[in-house]
Amino acid sequence: MSNSDRFMRRLGLRYPIIQAPMAGVSTPSLAAAVSEAGGLGSLGLGASTVEQARTMMTATKALTDQPFNVNVFCHRPPQRNDQNEHAWIECLTPLFQQFNAIPPEQLNEIYLSFLDNPEMLQLLLDMKPAVVSFHFNIPSPEIVKALQGRGIYTMATATNLHEARQIELAGIDAIVAQGIEAGGHRGMFDVQAIDQELTTNQLVIQLVKQTQLPIIAAGGVMNGEDINDALANGAAAAQLGTAFLLCPESAATEGYRRKLKSQTSDNTVLTTAISGRPARGILNPLIQLAEQYGTDKLPDYPVAYDVAKQLHGAALKCGNDGFAAYWAGQKVARSREMSAKTLMETLIKEMS
């Protein structure tokens, strides 16, 4: 039995296709549509409160009885630096003034890490989604065992072999191998470490050889041919994020959709400018300013994200949607606009 067949049998999937759990963009209707079509739909709960997470999981369960994945952020607490934070606010003040807004006096840690959120853990134990996945780091083996004890399958993102070995040692069930092509936030555990910037294919091949766990290929996967390539390299499944952004079921705004459809080539950049952690998205004025300012002087994640979101909100009130975080992968120009059900059918046909 192949790696893919074992993985699908374990989770009750018909196809080795996972819709990436994109926080702020994944919706219950998107996750349910993918799961109903035989793949694994996902919810991104990293930016959600416990009550928001409960609402999203309840809504998804109302739409499908098929397995789905929920993803949580396991980032380390930010190292606060008042001087850096106030300097960055001061740098952005002219932009706030341009949009007739008052800049914040101080910044906040807007997302609570799963590592510091026992209420979120209890919610997952109570609601028992089929899969729980971790991004930015991993929880303790005790938490992993507690989830598995409720019949929950666990996965975690790795961007290199060192992270993959930590995932394996923690007893987690599968590894999401995130290549440099992927849109959104890099799942790297330590943002101060040198990023090896391995492509998805390079990382999958390495992890298949060096670990015993199922490997999910993530990054630059847009069509059935890409999925087949990942499986040929030994992956158990492929995870697609950018490919699902233009589906009507996603929560991408009209401005986001226009940006995605206007990309005729790779105009994405990997930057810490918006959130304080490396993430790939479409170039915007805030990224350009931060790169000139010096991203090493920016506040940590998710503190930097606080002011970025406030600036976007101020700009949006003036009809300017150019300061949003339009996360997207390197192959965004190959995005297709169709329903999640149709996209799944198209991917499956392309794989055959």
d(CA 128, CA 126): 6
Which two three-digit tokens encode residue 269? 């950049």
d(CA 114, CA 121): 7
Contact of 48 with 21, CB cutoff 8 Å: no
- Provide CB contacts within 8 A for 192, sequence distance 6+: none
pLDDT bracket for residue 251 (50, 70, 90): very high
Q: Give yes or no for residue 149 having a pLDDT over 70.
A: yes
- Provide CB contacts within 8 A for 15, sequence distance 6+: 8, 37, 38, 39, 344, 347, 348, 351
Which two three-digit tokens encode residue 326? 């339009």
Mean pLDDT of 161-177: 99
Domain ranges of the chain: 3-75+111-252+335-351
pLDDT given for residue 265 in this prediction: 65
Contact of 241 with 182, CB cutoff 8 Å: yes
Q: Which CATH number fits domain 3-75+111-252+335-351: 3.40.190.10, 3.40.50.300, 3.40.50.620, 3.20.20.70?
A: 3.20.20.70
pTM of the model: 0.97
Query: CA-CA distances (angstroms) from residue 128 to 19, 54, 173, 187, 286?
Result: 19, 11, 16, 24, 39
pLDDT bracket for residue 266 (50, 70, 90): confident
- In whole angstroms, how large is the CA radius of gyration of the chain? 19
pLDDT bracket for residue 1 (50, 70, 90): confident
pLDDT bracket for residue 267 (50, 70, 90): confident
Q: Give yes or no for residue 168 having a pLDDT over 90.
A: yes
Q: Give yes or no for residue 232 having a pLDDT over 90.
A: yes
Amino acid at residue number 341: K
184-185, strands of its sheet edge to edge: 184-185, 279-282, 268-271
Mean pLDDT of 135-139: 99
Q: Comparing C-alpha atoms, which of 103, 102, 46, 109 is closest to residue 81?
A: 109
pLDDT given for residue 329 in this prediction: 97
- Provide CB contacts within 8 A for 159, sequence distance 6+: 178, 186, 187, 188, 195, 196, 198, 203
Which ranges constitute the DSSP H helices of the chain? 3-11, 28-36, 50-63, 82-98, 118-127, 141-149, 161-169, 200-210, 224-232, 254-262, 285-293, 303-317, 340-351
d(CA 263, CA 191): 28
40 secondary structure, DSSP code: B
3-state DSSP assignment of residue 264: coil
pLDDT bracket for residue 44 (50, 70, 90): very high
pLDDT given for residue 296 in this prediction: 92
d(CA 49, CA 173): 26
* Mean per-residue pLDDT over the chain, rounded: 97
| Residues facing residue 237 across a β-bridge | 216
d(CA 287, CA 274): 7
194 secondary structure, DSSP code: P
Residues written for the chain: 352
Mean pLDDT of 272-277: 97
| Residues facing residue 175 across a β-bridge | 156, 215
d(CA 322, CA 325): 9
d(CA 45, CA 123): 12
Mean pLDDT of 221-232: 99
Q: What angle do CA 156, 157, 159 make, to 5 degrees?
A: 150
Q: Comparing C-alpha atoms, which of 238, 123, 130, 236 is closest to residue 178?
A: 238
- Percent of the chain surpassing pLDDT 90: 98
pLDDT tens digits along 96-115: 999 999 999 999 999 999 99
d(CA 97, CA 9): 56
Mean pLDDT of 85-98: 97
